[in-house]
Amino acid sequence: MIVRCVAESGGRGAAPGYGTVSVGTIPFGLTRGREYAVYGLALFETGPALLVQDDKRYPGWYATSVFEILDSAVPAGWRAGRGEGYELVLAYPELAESESAMSGLIRLDRAARRHFARQVQARTSSLAVDATPSFAAVADLAGWFHQEFAYVAKTPLELIDMYLEDEAEAVVAELDALFAAGMDEVVAHRIWLVEGRAMFDPAGRGSTCLDWLRTVRDHLAEPR
């Protein structure tokens, strides 16, 4: 299912809060005229809504009124479910079959974001999820980039040099395998920001996760 955004505001607040508290207006994270893949459809108490990945690549429920449908085909494998605050949800199994997964997605819990990122990769990347090489060492590296990393090192590469010793070879090997398999930005984003939970987003410096991981690979491969 593919939709196009036809609004410049509104549509947020359709999903239940599940204990979350919003201060002020919830930002509208879509761009009018842009197309979005749909990852779920729900009938909330406030009305119907669609689950899409917003412009900052976070999952979000938006009222159907802000979209026009371009392709109504429902993805294979979707399941139906219901729970507190919604009469019906049609979505990928992990979301449809668990009320806790629904609340976790709305709260942007790690497990829910990981399931969502896998769906995004399955729908939008040429590299299949099951064909993605191991990235455990790369994800561990991403974990070093916590909220305070800027106070620890002057640059992201300096932080890598400070902490990475014997693991450099493993990270380079994983990145070589990932690039050889056809890793694109969708996969790189999933590995670095979702699976690895890095607090350093290369987009803040006008780059991409894919280019950043290529920089990391080349930096670590340099003779020491």
Mind listing the pLDDT tens digit for each residue in 36-95?
A: 999 999 999 888 999 999 999 999 999 999 999 999 999 989 999 988 888 999 999 999
Residue type, 49: A
Q: How confident is the model at residue 15 (pLDDT cuts 50, 70, 90)?
A: low
pLDDT at 167: 82
Q: How many domains in the chain?
A: 2
Please state, in angstroms and rounded to a whole number, the distance separating the CA atoms of residues 150 and 194.
20
Domain edge (last residue) among 124, 152, 181: 124
pLDDT range class, residue 106, cuts 50, 70, 90: confident
* Side chain identity, residue 112: A
0.85 surpassed by pTM? yes
- Distance of alpha carbon 25 from alpha carbon 212, whole angstroms: 33
Does 170 share its domain with 75?
no
Based on the fold, state whether residues 35 and 107 are members of the same structural domain.
yes
117 and 164 share one domain? no
- Tell me, what's the pLDDT at 20? 47
Clarify whether residues 14 and 120 are in a common domain.
yes
Domain boundary among 124, 145, 165: 124
Do 1 and 37 form a contact (C-beta atoms < 8 A)? yes
Q: What is the pLDDT of residue 107?
A: 87
Judgement on whether residues 157 and 89 belong to the same structural domain of the protein: no
- pLDDT value at residue 36: 97
The string of pLDDT tens digits covering residues 17-36 is 554 444 445 778 899 999 99
**Which is higher by pLDDT, 191 or 223?**
191
> 47 with 63: CB under 8 angstroms?
yes
**Residue 223 pLDDT class (50, 70, 90 cuts):** confident
110 and 192 share a domain? Answer: no
Range with the poorest average pLDDT among 106-120, 145-159, 186-200: 145-159
Q: What pLDDT, on the 0 to 100 scale, is given for residue 121?
A: 97
Same domain (yes/no): 101, 159:
no
Question: In this structure, are residues 78 and 92 in contact, taking their beta carbons and an 8 Å threshold?
Answer: yes
- 202 and 182 in a common domain: yes
Residues 146 and 213 in one domain: yes
Question: What is the per-residue pLDDT for 57?
Answer: 93
Q: Which residue has the higher pLDDT, 17 or 6?
A: 6
Does 120 share its domain with 75?
yes
| Helix (H) or strand (E) run with residue 114 in it | helix 110-124
Confidence of residue 16 (pLDDT cuts 50, 70, 90): low
Q: Look at residues 114, 105, 127 and name the one whose alpha carbon lies nearest to residue 193.
A: 114
Residues 117, 176: one domain?
no
Average the pLDDT over 128-157 and give the result.
87
Burial of residue 19 (number of CB atoms within 10 Å: 0-12, 13-18, 19+): exposed
Q: Same structural domain for residues 211 and 172? A: yes
Q: Which of 73, 90, 124 corresponds to the end of one domain?
A: 124
Q: What is the mean pLDDT of residues 184-206?
A: 95
Q: Which domain holds residue 46?
A: 2-124
From residue 78, how far is each of 3, 40, 89, 156, 179 by CA, in Å? 17, 8, 10, 40, 30
